[in-house]
Amino acid sequence: MKKLHLIYIMAAAALLATSCKKDLTYAELKEKERDAINNFISRDVTIRDHDGNDLIYVGRVNTISDDQFVEQGCTTNVEKNEYVLFSNGVYMQIRREGVGNRLESGESKQVIARYTEFNIMADTVQTSNETLYYSTTPDIIDISNSYGTFTASFNTENGGGAMYRRYGSTSVPAGWLMPFSYIRIGRQTSEEQISQVRLIVPHAQGQSDASSNVYPCFYQITFQEAR
């Protein structure tokens, strides 16, 4: 009888814990997200794959303001591991500005994006197209610039890339569009490399699942003009 009573108590406790988690307010979920981001940028992070192999060394993030970013010519010092923090909560590091030209107002392009997505809250790589499986079908973005406002969608020809297949949406996360005001989009040459950025994207600027479940993601992305 005592054992049965204990089982009832444990089951009730588990149910209560689940209920409490579901009953978190949106404000509390956002606070948990902010705490997760603050913890992520303050610790010496190395992102590993599911087999434990090192993928990306992030390190401790040195945050700079939007004003400092502008004073530095809209660049981030990679040696100091600088990330600019924008007012919408997105952190951005420009690791390589890239080759070619910026996307000017009135222009549209197809851009190849190769990326790794790390769920900061779950502390795990969530999606990536930096694999042999996606080598022939990377994520392609159809992007346009209208007076400094960028609109974009994932191209679904040939079944689309990893982002479309995982989340079932052609919407490009708003956080992914932040770099396009500052990077150049071209093809790699023998001397120069294509643009590469790192982003920390809160849920409000993220993909549909992050937006629905209130969690932030870290991204490392290269952008290259499609042929």
For 71, phi and psi rounded to 5 degrees?
-60, -30
> Is residue 155 a part of any domain in this protein?
yes
> Is residue 152 a part of any domain in this protein?
yes
**SS3 category, 61:** coil
Distance CA 181, CA 150 (A): 9
Q: What is the pLDDT along the chain (227 residues), one digit of tens a residue?
A: 444 343 444 444 444 444 444 689 999 999 999 999 999 999 999 999 999 999 999 999 999 999 999 999 999 999 999 999 999 999 999 999 999 999 999 999 999 999 999 999 999 999 999 999 998 899 999 999 999 999 999 999 989 999 999 999 999 999 999 999 999 999 987 668 999 999 999 999 999 999 999 999 999 999 999 97
Q: What domain count does the chain have? A: 1
Distance CA 195, CA 183 (A): 6
Residue 126: give the domain boundaries. 26-225
> Is residue 186 a part of any domain in this protein?
yes
> Is residue 206 a part of any domain in this protein?
yes
- Alpha helices for 62-199 (secondary structure H): 66-71, 162-167, 174-177
CATH number at residue 44: 3.10.50.40
Contacts of 207 (CB under 8 A, 6+ apart): 163, 167, 169, 171, 173, 217
pLDDT for residue 30: 97
> Is residue 115 a part of any domain in this protein?
yes
Continuous segment of H or E residues that includes residue 18: helix 2-22
Give residue for tokens 């932040």.
178
> Is residue 2 a part of any domain in this protein?
no
> Is residue 9 a part of any domain in this protein?
no
> Is residue 17 a part of any domain in this protein?
no
Q: Are 219 and 201 in contact (CB under 8 A)?
A: yes
Contacts of 202 (CB under 8 A, 6+ apart): 33, 37, 88, 89, 90, 175, 216
pLDDT for residue 227: 79
Q: How far are the Cα atoms of 2, 12, 102 from residue 5, in angstroms, in the given order?
A: 5, 11, 68
